[in-house]
Amino acid sequence: MMMPESPIRKLVPFAEIAKKAGRKVYHLNIGQPDIETPEIALNAIRNFSQKVVEYSHSAGIYSYRKRLTEYYKKYNIDITPEDIVVGAGASEALLFAINTCLDPGDELIIPEPFYANYNGFAINCGAVVRPIISTIDNGFALPPMADFEKAINERTKAILICNPNNPTGYLYSKEELETLRDIVKKYDLYLITDEVYREFVYDGLHHYSAMYLEGIEENVILIDSVSKRYSACGFRVGCLITRNKDVIRTALKFAQARLSPPTFGQIGAEAAIDTPQEYFDKVLKEYHARRDVVVECINRIPGAYCPKPKGAFYVVARLPIDDSDRFCKWLLEDFNFNNETVMLAPATGFYSNPGKGKDEVRISYVLKVEDLKKAMVCLEEALKVYPGRTL
């Protein structure tokens, strides 16, 4: 009963009804890329020749973990296969991390808004999320160190961040990560860092990994995934990485309890490491254009505001509405423009504090530019007639 509902998926029944009524729905509610999965990964699965699909090692296929070390070496992250536990997506890796680092009743600090499932993962593990507010007015930058220190108590065990951020698209800077390092070191906390959007960084900027932070090498736990990097969400392959051998040993116990990660996903993910750079260059250029369309269109709407994110493929926008849950449902139930409408995620579900995000929505710019332009027209027209408009 305590498990929260997904703000991303809870409106799916209303979208299905709208489609059955003949309306086109632009899905901007979920981070499911429309980019093609690299052919090299798909071919590896097609060419699988073993006669038996066996369990893999609970930590993941060794050859895949070895190839992963080569991938991270390109980013100056020096690890060994023994520092990696492969999970069924970043989701399972996060469950391993939280279960490993926190006992029931222990607290996990997360800047909010945050990926809604973080709250569900914590509840699943018996942990308690202690949110710290970041605001749209400064683009959702890291809250001040003083805010973290106010939240820390004897039950605090870890800080969790997503960089680049889902749902905001904010890219934490080296300086902000060094601030986190100082907090983590001072209070001897774990820093769990979700870096699944590492490749999606714009405007000539670069991603700074928490694995670079000196002085807290034993405290950092990296969470990663192939889902967005290779547009392979269905592979369900992610990983937990840390240089802390005690964490690895404990995480492996949870991995053993679920036997092994998906075989075919690992085969595809291992092959995907050889994806040529041209693939990523093309994808980045495409998302850069999509981001600009969404941000520019929203900021032209009277009463709306959208900061320009530096990473991932999401924005959180403030709209002149009374209630984002009501608005997002209304878009699917009662609105259409030229028999089209748009599906958004109400931002309330990305906050742990009740009442936050009521005038905000998360938009995933995972559709091609032409469709995004049409979706933004739908949004603009909807705001002209929405009964709960506040301006």
| Same-domain check for residues 248 and 357 | no
- Is 363 among the domain residues? yes
Cα 306 from Cα 177, distance rounded (Å): 24
| Same-domain check for residues 324 and 230 | no
What band does 354 get if pLDDT is binned at 50, 70 and 90? confident
pLDDT at 33: 85
Residue of 230, 223, 225, 208 lying closest to 280 (CA atoms): 230
Which residue is listed with tokens 């041209």?
278
Residue of 360, 367, 335 lying closest to 346 (CA atoms): 360
| Same-domain check for residues 18 and 100 | no
- Is 5 among the domain residues? no
pLDDT tens digits, 291-329: 999 999 999 999 999 999 999 999 999 999 999 999 999
pLDDT at 391: 81
User: Structurally, how many domains does the chain consist of?
Assistant: 2
Mean pLDDT of 65-72: 98
- Is 344 among the domain residues? yes
Mean pLDDT of 93-112: 97
- For the ranges 32-36, 139-143, 362-366, 386-390, the lowest mean pLDDT is seen at 32-36
* Domain CATH for 192: 3.40.640.10
| Same-domain check for residues 315 and 266 | no
pLDDT at 15: 87
pLDDT at 7: 62
| Same-domain check for residues 250 and 290 | no
Q: Which of residues 221, 249, 272 is at a domain's end?
A: 272
- Is 230 among the domain residues? yes
Alpha helices in 223-345 (DSSP H): 245-257, 263-272, 277-300, 324-333
Q: Which residues contact 49 (CB under 8 A, 6 or more apart)?
A: none
pLDDT at 353: 84
Instruction: Supply the Cα-derived Rg of the chain in whole angstroms.
Output: 21
| Same-domain check for residues 246 and 367 | no
| Same-domain check for residues 31 and 56 | no
Cα 109 from Cα 105, distance rounded (Å): 13
What band does 32 get if pLDDT is binned at 50, 70 and 90? confident
Higher-confidence residue of 353 and 104: namely: 104
| Same-domain check for residues 29 and 48 | no
What band does 243 get if pLDDT is binned at 50, 70 and 90? very high
| Same-domain check for residues 100 and 225 | yes
What band does 9 get if pLDDT is binned at 50, 70 and 90? low
Q: Which of residues 209, 237, 272 is at a domain's end?
A: 272
Q: Which of residues 240, 272, 304 is at a domain's end?
A: 272
pTM, 2 dp? 0.94
Mean pLDDT of 199-225: 97
* Domain CATH for 336: 3.90.1150.10
- Is 4 among the domain residues? no
Tell me the residue range of the domain where 282 lies.
12-36+278-385
pLDDT at 91: 96
| Same-domain check for residues 238 and 369 | no
What band does 4 get if pLDDT is binned at 50, 70 and 90? low
What band does 3 get if pLDDT is binned at 50, 70 and 90? low
| Same-domain check for residues 183 and 320 | no
pLDDT at 8: 62
| Same-domain check for residues 339 and 234 | no
349 pLDDT more than 70: yes
Mean pLDDT of 60-76: 97
